Amino acid sequence: MSHTEATSPAVPGTPPASAAVGPKAPARRGADPERTWRSTLKAYVALTKPRIIELLLITTVPTMFLAQGGFPGWWLVVVTLIGGAAAAGSANVFNMIYDRDIDAVMNRTKNRPLVTGEVTVRQAMVFAFALGVFSVAWLGLVVNWVAAVLCLAAIVMYAVGYTMLLKRHTTQNIVWGGAAGCMPVLIGWSAVTGSLSWAPVLLFGIIFFWTPPHYWPLSMKFKADYAAANVPMLPVVSADTRVARQMIGYTVAMIACSLALVPVAGMGWLYLVAAAGSGGWFLWLCLSLFRRARDGDGRKLRAMKVFHASITYLTVLFVAIAVDPFLPF
């Protein structure tokens, strides 16, 4: 039995006795009904992890432009985004339900609605299923069933594959579990074409290889949190040098996929410059992180700088993907 298995809570998803689940929302006598309604709405929105949804949707729209070779029309873009947002929200709510025990012991997550008691587990479960069923039915009936099936696969991959099977049991959790976050490009492409091809597979590869160097710096920052929750993120159980070295490898693979998109999808000079320039810049930051880790300069590791840079890289790359089809050459 591994150390993780020996120290993890006996029943995943159930708060351990040693960890208070957080203060219940206090009864508010004569509370303003409008304020209570707003607080409840805010709690439900928080369950969906809107910042993650925003990042996922950033990749969907440019992919649709590329698949169309131009603008696919407002209607298709909007209805696809509605379905994609609902699917991501469903997966994130399932994740919060299952992880409420470890959320209670992590400073970064201890104020989430299921920890504080603002939303009950039953309410969250109904909400998660409602979002999931709506997203699949919506995409199937309004867009096409290829996109709907991919949407369902994304929910299952994140809620079951990553959250239940990988996160607590392997240091490669975010690597393979991160595949769920790559699904929006497949959904966006299939929404336009009704099928898949090598171009969306390469887009999938870009995000797949981007995920570890994006998420591991965050895990470095909150290493103590993950250790307290017995979640074996690679930065928790391995030296910073090993983590940084792997980040470099994944970044090289990411850049290779981004450049391979040029001949496969017929990308132009703007995309080529953006992919090479932003990819080289991000690789340099990963190399700098490795050098600081190797020199033992923990105070100047600046892992969060790499984390924020990863978001900038993905944004620049997908903006270039969105603009490239509209260029005359």
Do both 223 and 288 map to the same domain? Answer: yes
Asked if pLDDT for residue 7 goes beyond 80, the answer is no
Residue 84 in domain: yes
Question: How many domains is the chain built from?
Answer: 2
Closest by CA position to 281, among listed 213, 232, 200: 213
Residue 53 confidence (pLDDT): 84
* Chain centre distance of CA 328: 34
Angle ∠(92,89,171) on CA atoms, nearest 5: 25
How many residues are listed for the chain in this entry? 329
Query: What count of Cα atoms within 13 Å lies in the side-chain half-sphere of residue 173?
Result: 25
Amino acid at 80: T
What is the per-residue pLDDT across 106-144, written as a single tens digit (0 to 9) for each? Answer: 988 999 999 999 999 999 999 999 999 999 999 999 999
Do both 202 and 159 map to the same domain? Answer: no
What is the per-residue pLDDT across 150-209, written as a single tens digit (0 to 9) for each? Answer: 999 999 999 999 999 999 999 999 999 889 999 999 999 999 999 999 999 999 999 999
> What residues make up the domain containing 174?
37-180
Do both 157 and 206 map to the same domain? Answer: no
- Taking the C-alpha atoms of residue 84 and residue 255, their distance in angstroms, rounded to an integer, is 26
Q: Report the CATH number that the domain containing residue 274 is assigned in CATH.
A: 1.20.120
Q: Tell me what percent of the residues of the chain surpass a pLDDT of 70.
A: 88
Do both 253 and 131 map to the same domain? Answer: no
Residue 329 confidence (pLDDT): 73
* CB proximity list for 282: less than 8 A, separation 6 or greater: 213, 251, 309, 310, 313
Residue 57 confidence (pLDDT): 82
Residue 10 confidence (pLDDT): 37
Do 173 and 167 contact (CB within 8 A), yes or no? yes
Written as one string, the DSSP assignment of 268-312 is: -HHHHHHHHHHHHHHHHHHHHHHHHHHTT-GGG--HHHHHHHHHH
Residue 297 confidence (pLDDT): 64
Please state the rounded mean pLDDT for residues 235-259: 96
Do 245 and 233 contact (CB within 8 A), yes or no? no
